[in-house]
A and B are shown apart, each in its own frame.
Chain A
Amino acid sequence: MTATATATPGNRGILRVNPVAKLAAALLLAGVLVLTIDWVSAAVALACELVLFFWAGMSFRIFVLRTLPVWLAAPAAGLTTLLYGQAAGAEYWQFGLIHITDGSVELAVATLLRVLAIGLPAVVLFVTVDPTDLADGLGQVVRLPARFVLGGLAALRLVGLLMEDWRALERARRARGIADRGVIRRLSGQAFALLVLSIRRGSKLATAMEARGFGGTTTRTWARPSDFGRREVALIGLGLFVGALAVAVSVATGSWNFVLG
């Protein structure tokens, strides 16, 4: 048996960074970017991020697969703004509530880039988060209430069982003679049964956790340390730096456009 009490999931690139730092970095960057809606700040942030992704230790295939939703959502958000954004400047096309104007074109580009600049780093950072490490971090570094953090973690483990439960339910309902219905009735009935089953599992799991002293009055200790050191500070600093750079360039070029202004 290994003596490594703190089984680390891996040690390449971003994997070793405390998930709390990843969360903080992504939130910081996003927090800065939502303050303004202009294409310059979003483009600067996006450019820095694309360079940084090379050090994330993620293969190109995985990157494309996991970030696909973001690539799809960005044009959709852009299109909405293009059609319904505030009208300003020359008008190109108008139909009902739709106004395509110079202003809405600019806003649309900014929206598209902003969705990418906020969404992509989050996916890259979170893809490697192990729920156990995150819970350790939230409990020890952020000091959220341990009962809730661990309750959430234990529930996350049940997710892994859901797929298996789904198949078992399918078989059971077939065996009981109630699986000959139309697809929609069958699937919705089965989905409800899955919800029932997971709540039952949750109730039982709660008993098992209480039997191990969970939820008592003793202050709990943590078997795995959650380290927050130089690496973590560096990552947060990096997020802050990219955000600051984006703001600086945007202000310097006169494109800064405060959302509430």
Chain B
Amino acid sequence: MTPPAAPDLRVAGASIDASGWGWRHAGRRAWAVRDLDLRIDPGERVLLLGASGAGKSTLVHALAGVIGAAEEGEEQGRLLVNGSSPAAARGQVGLVMQDPDSQVILARVGDDVAFGCENLGVPREEIWRRVRDSLAMVGLDLPLGHPTSALSGGQKQRLALAGVLAMRPGLLLLDEPTANLDPAGVLEVRESVARVLEHTEATFVVIEHRVGVWQHLINRVIVLDPAGGVLADGRPGDVLPAEGDRLSASGVWVPGIAHDLPARRRAPQASDRLLGTQALAIARTRDAVVARDIELEVVEGAALAITGPNGAGKSTLALTLAGLLKPAAGRVLADPRLSGGAPAEPIRWKSRQLLTRIGTVFQDPEHQFVAGTVRAELSVGPLALGLPEPVISARVDTLLQRLRIDHLAEANPFTLSGGEKRRLSVGTVLATRPGVLVLDEPTFGQDFRTWREIVALLAELIDAGTAVVAVSHDAEFVAALADSEYRLAGSLDARPDRLVTL
């Protein structure tokens, strides 16, 4: 595909006006956003920050006019896009949501990108011109008939971006567009956005916990205060240095601020092996092996990081180690200290036997939820173990507090914010105190404060003898916790996978 010959994206940027605006989701007593006074001028490029649960996603959903009808919540004050209500301005606003999977609408790449244009009544020839331009702009070089079900996470992210660009929006809203992408993917998406911004005058709002990624593309930072209103607002060069400490304390990931990271205290002993593999090959379906000849050890009181590009098989490996997926070949073997009477291979353990031995946090937190409230969700494991009631509630209360979700104890797990869901899913596993913890992207979507809390919690557990296996794209997380790193190369003929001791 050739780079686009200066596609015509010159739509006028939209303005945003909020006065005393707030929103409370139906079924909640607390306001997600309240008392917000804000003006964003056409063409401004804004980074929207704020602690997890501060209401960032709620705000951008409202701006896109998709927050729902009156029966889905309660509004206060006024929110205007280009002087009219967001629902009326739908179509002028392009939103890329926090979860790329739920944004694919149609079965073929071309149709999916065209969908927005069709809804806006764009003539047919113009639609296909825009589709090709948009795909080129985000660097998605695929045939128009390519099935959308066969896209990687990063490709889906870019598809969503292309679909939005084809609508030629005056306001472009991105909600954590790089969560779950590998570092190369993050750069690619950022480059795509940079390219788009060169060609458009649209107003741009991006949500991201890590300031570093977008710092050079934005000219204004707005920090939402979880208690309502705005905590800080201004040019990145002014706000970040001046308010760095305050922002950092409230959960913003400010570059250049020296963090006092929680540290590990105890060095692991290599002799304390809990789990090991022999010539392991992993696959989701029998005939599609993604990596083979894996030899690694999981050691008591130590952390092993699994890294590699998107689609390399990290999650597949984690699930296989955790006894949830059959090895394609070779074996996963638990040492007697871990198996304690159960068979040697975790895949043959009963569901209840897994609970105290290996706990797994899934990449998609929603896959893990089985109960109707946050508190019930945390109690599922301990109940299955038959623990006495006082023990259960003590454990659950401690976890609720440490993970900062105590105010949500009675909320439905699926209504939590992205970051809250992630913390809850980590909590469900900690509740049964397994000997080995397998965590798939435990820190994605976290603000700095909760990130540090999760690292501290894990460091404590490791020092107390738990073995941790963590899949992560997060280099800081790996640096802070891991004793060794297993790198999956991403293709069977590329450089071999390797184990690095850190």
Contact = CB atoms under 8 A, between A and B. Distances in A.
Interface of A: 1-2, 4-5, 7, 131-132, 153-154, 157, 160-161, 168-169, 171-180, 193, 197, 200-201, 204-205, 207-216, 218-225
A1 B139 CA distance: 12
Interface in B191-233: none
Interface stretch (B89-97, B271-279, B390-398, B485-493): B89-97
A219 B122 CA distance: 10
Given A204-B99, A221-B123, A216 B90 contact: yes
B351 A1 contact: no
B367 A7 contact: no
A210 B87 CA distance: 10
A172 B144 contact: no
Contacts of A161: 149
Given A7-B108, A176-B381, A204-B102, A213 B120 contact: yes
A210 B66 contact: yes
Nearest to B135: A1
For the complex of A and B, 7 pairs with smallest distance between CB atoms: A7-B145, A177-B384, A179-B351, A213-B119, A212-B116, A213-B91, A204-B102
B414 interface: yes
Interface in B334-365: 350-352, 354-355, 359-360, 362, 364
B245 to A, nearest CB: 37
B380 A176 contact: yes
A211 B370 contact: no
B167 interface: yes
Contact of B362 (A172, A215, A218): A172
Interface string B299-318: 00000000000000000000
A164 to B, nearest CB: 9
Interface residues of B, number: 71
Contacts of B90: 210-211, 213, 216
A150 to B, nearest CB: 8
Interface string B103-117: 111111011001111
B107 A157 contact: yes
B432 interface: yes
A24 to B, nearest CB: 24
B121 A220 contact: yes
A215 to B, nearest CB: 8
Contact of B385 (A171, A177, A197, A218): A177
Given A1-B144, A211-B64, 5 more contacts: A1-B1, A172-B368, A176-B370, A221-B118, A221-B122
A171 B325 contact: yes
B65 interface: yes
B106 A7 contact: no
B144 A2 contact: yes
A223 B66 contact: no
15 contacts: A1-B132, A1-B143, A154-B105, A157-B105, A157-B148, A175-B362, A177-B354, A177-B355, A177-B380, A211-B64, A211-B164, A213-B119, A218-B121, A221-B117, A224-B111
Contact of B164 (A180, A193, A212, A221): A212
Contacts of A174: 324, 351, 354
A210 B65 contact: yes
A154 B385 CA distance: 41
B322 A175 contact: yes
A219 B121 contact: yes
Of listed A169, A177, A224, residue having the most chain B CB within 10 A: A177
B322 A178 contact: no
Contacts of A176: 351, 355, 368, 370, 380-381, 384, 428
A7 to B, nearest CB: 3
Given A1-B143, A207-B97, A211-B97, A220 B118 contact: yes
A232 B167 CA distance: 34
Contact of B95 (A177, A200, A211, A215): A211
Nearest to A165: B367
Contacts of A4: 144-145
B292 interface: no
B127 interface: yes
B150 to A, nearest CB: 10
Given A172-B368, A177-B355, A213 B116 contact: yes
A168 B360 CA distance: 13
B324 A171 contact: yes
B335 to A, nearest CB: 21
B141 interface: yes
Contacts of B380: 176-178
A145 to B, nearest CB: 14
Contact of B370 (A180, A193, A223): A193
Contacts of B370: 172-173, 176, 178, 193
A157 B350 contact: no
Contacts of B366: 197, 200
A209 B115 CA distance: 9
A7 B143 CA distance: 9
Nearest to B163: A212
B319 interface: yes
B404 interface: no
A218 B355 CA distance: 54
Nearest to A9: B145
B402 interface: no
Contacts of B449: none
Given A180-B352, A200-B414, A205 B110 contact: no
A212 B119 contact: yes
A19 to B, nearest CB: 15
Contact of A132 (B99, B108, B117): B108
A99 to B, nearest CB: 52
B347 to A, nearest CB: 10
A178 B351 contact: yes
B106 A153 contact: yes
Interface in B424-441: 428, 432
